[in-house]
Amino acid sequence: MEYLGAIGAALSAKRTFTHSPYSEDSFLISRMLYERGYLAGFSIVGQNPTLCIKLKYDMHGRPLVRTLQPISKPSKKVCVTVTELRKLLEKEVPVDFIIRTSIGFVWAREAVQRRLGGELTLRVSV
Q: Which residues make beta-bridge pairs with 120?
A: 99
Q: pLDDT at position 91, please?
A: 82
Closest Cα partner for 85 from 121, 112, 123?
A: 112
pTM given for the model:
0.90
Alpha helices in 1-126 (DSSP H): 2-12, 24-35, 82-91, 108-113
Q: Give the helix/strand (H/E) hosting 107.
A: strand 104-107
Nearest-angstrom CA–CA distance, 57 and 70: 22
The sign of the CA dihedral 93, 126, 79, 29 is: positive
Nearest-angstrom CA–CA distance, 109 and 96: 8
Neighbours of 29 (CB within 10 A): 25
Regions of the chain with pLDDT less than 50: none
DSSP string spanning 43-59?
EEETTTTEEEEEE-B-T
Provide the CATH topology of domain 2-55: Ribosomal Protein S8; Chain: A, domain 1 (3.30.1370)
For the domain covering 67-125, report its CATH number.
3.30.1490.10
Where are the domains positioned within the chain? 2-55, 67-125
